[in-house]
Chain A
Amino acid sequence: MGNVLEQELKNRRQQKNILLMTHLVLGYPSLSVNREVIRQMAENGVDCIELQIPFSEPIADGPVILKANQVSLESGITVEECFQFGQEMAAAFPQVRFLFMTYYNIVFKYGEKAFLERTRDIGFRGTIIPDLPPEEGLTYLATSRDLGLAPILFFTPTSSDERMRQVAARGAGFIYCVARRGVTGKQTAFDQTLEEYLARCRRTTDLPLAVGFGISSREDVALLTGKADMAVIGTATIKLVDAQGPAAVGPFISGLLQP
């Protein structure tokens, strides 16, 4: 039985060689800048956007996203505002598939079931929780499945084939393939090791493969084409907005897909 998001992504892949997912931290630098950035992303053909709800202890994130979390929290962002903003975005850009990314404590404190129900109700397709391994997320996985949401799970270069199969059996929507070790935002070397890793990912699951951690250029995206289904642009757009403002996002995104 296919998940909604999985089916949608597979359909899109019939039209496109590679899909794009972008990421931003809600409230950084502000929700109004977020709004403009998302518009630029949507108008330039982004398929999925992960909206990160800030957390005070983001252990899987590197310095850029870590700082974005802190600044956003210092400005007083709340989970409630994130939901309201998410709802507004999902309504405004129906062509984009939205997911929440956050840490488990945010979900836990809101109430796992309530959080997931609201995520579904505002028109989101799934959630990405990097500190919730499948072993600890049994009820989260089951509830997501019941609601038709995609709980996105991870493959990493340290995952054995056996582990990949275990994880894939519990995931839905797509698999987030971390391209390298370490935290978000560091450069990934696109070499033969990566190619072998992606081939291994492909062998162990039929779910679409999204590849992230350090992708920042047209060349990176071109290299992934044919080897993965979706390229994830994370830290690169945050840096871009910091340096050049939200207006730079549209040209950057459209540039990623130019042949």
Chain B
Amino acid sequence: MKKGYYGQWGGAFIPEVLHATFADLNRAYEAARADATFWQEYVDLMSNYSCRPTPLTFAENLTRHFGGARIYIKREDLNHTGAHKANNVMGQGLLVKRMGKRRVIAETGAGQHGMATATMAARFGLACTIYMGEEDVARQRPNVFWMEKLGATVVPVTDGSRTLKDAMNEAFRDWVSSMDDTHYVIGTVCGPHPFPEMVAWFQSIIGQEARQQILRQHGRLPDRVFACVGGGSNAMGIFQGFLDEANVDLVGVEAGGLGVATGRHAARMVEGSGATPGVAQGYKTMFLQNPEGQMLDTHSIAAGLDYIGVSPILADLGEQGRVRFAAATDSEVIEALSLTMRTEGIIPAMESAHAFVQAFKEAPAMSPDQAIIINMSGRGDKDIFTIAHAFDDPSWKSFIVQRAEGYRRG
């Protein structure tokens, strides 16, 4: 198969001006991959600077609540910066140091990847520019605040739908003039080769750990593994621990928004999503687009899943039937989030809560000697503005109003 392709998906649809940059990146990435000390350096960094290995928590109360399979939760929320995003970013940071570049740029939707990149840049002494859709800047002010405090420049993108895809386009536009000293830290397993493969490699640390942990705690492999899928990096991360095990059912959960049938969603792989094959943002995959190839607006309660495309690796695994896809609606997500908080004292990010929804649908029908893992890709408590808004919480609203009035008075 052609390099960078997964079945019919993937590729590197890049403007000619980036040809040499990608050649350099491919060389650096392949050299790192062939060098066992690089991976060791990465693991050491993640166990020292971040909280790796993250725990695999047995969710005893949820297990009892549903009365079916034993439910385990992989705790990427306990990773530094609060999500799996740091795995990819710190890995690419080590690569940037090897390549001798001095600046990084990144796109961000909800701001998690931007936060992680700004953190990495601070740690490694790199200049950092984050592109973020204007709409997301408005929705995710706390993350913008932290990125700026960490020393990054946050550029609001006012083009197109002013969300993640537009931020990605704008980062590419920066890169085509700045590539000599700048690396573009793509945040997910999408984009032109080698990004899907490279990001999947850094995220595979989740699956490696989860596999050892479940064997230790449960005595054997899990029956099913659930992960939410926006671009797909946390899903690819955990799935890689089990891809070769035909008996482990891998389930990707997409953003069902207001319901797949309403058209207001961000699901690409489930039946009826309306997504079709396309080529955009440097790669070929299933995109939400009109018949002429113009990309559509997507909707999800979780900004991190609100994206037109999906990893080419997952598109292939879906086509092969190796990964099964489902969708969770916004309201199901809120319900699963509430239950998990009250039952286990754990606050998943809204993105992650999509995986919980599907796991909760399937666990009750499974037997108590079976086990499932839910990948909790990030924590929700730092998204308090978004989650409180989604809960439409009256006391939170009055607090904000009072605080605003206080600021207005000066």
Task: Give the interface of A toward B (CB within 8 A).
Answer: 55-60, 62-63, 66-67, 70, 73, 78-79, 103-106, 108-110, 130-133, 135-136, 153-160, 163, 167, 178, 181-183, 186
Contacts and interface: CB of A to CB of B under 8 A. Distances in A.
Contacts of A183: 173, 176-177
A152 to B, nearest CB: 11
A186 B174 CA distance: 12
Nearest to A153: B16
Interface of B is mostly: mixed
Specify which of A106, A110, A135, A163 lies most central, judged by the most chain B CB atoms within 10 Å of its CB: A135
Interface in B137-181: 159-160, 165, 169, 172-173, 176-177, 179
Contacts of B291: 109
Given A79-B292, A163-B19, 9 more contacts: A59-B281, A73-B294, A109-B289, A110-B292, A131-B282, A133-B14, A133-B19, A153-B16, A160-B20
Given A105-B278, A108-B278, A183-B176, A57 B11 contact: no
B387 interface: no
Interface residues on B, range: 20 to 34
Nearest to A67: B159
B279 interface: yes
B49 interface: no
A133 B20 contact: no
13 contacts: A56-B160, A57-B295, A58-B169, A79-B293, A109-B291, A131-B13, A131-B282, A132-B13, A133-B14, A135-B12, A154-B17, A158-B179, A183-B173
Contacts of B15: 59-60, 130-131, 133, 154
B172 to A, nearest CB: 5
Interface in B285-337: 287, 289, 291-295
Given A133-B13, A181-B179, A182-B177, A56 B294 contact: yes
Given A70-B160, A159-B19, A160-B20, A182 B13 contact: no
A233 B289 CA distance: 31
A186 B20 CA distance: 21
A160 B293 CA distance: 33
Contacts, number: 106
Specify which of A60, A106, A155 lies most central, judged by the most chain B CB atoms within 10 Å of its CB: A60
Contact of B165 (A57, A104, A135): A57
B170 to A, nearest CB: 9
B50 interface: no
B338 interface: no
Contacts of A133: 12-16, 19
A154 B179 contact: no
A135 B177 CA distance: 22
Contacts of A58: 169
Contact of B177 (A103, A109, A163, A181): A181
B22 to A, nearest CB: 9
A157 B15 CA distance: 13
A149 to B, nearest CB: 19
B17 A156 contact: yes
B1 to A, nearest CB: 14
Contacts of A178: 16-17
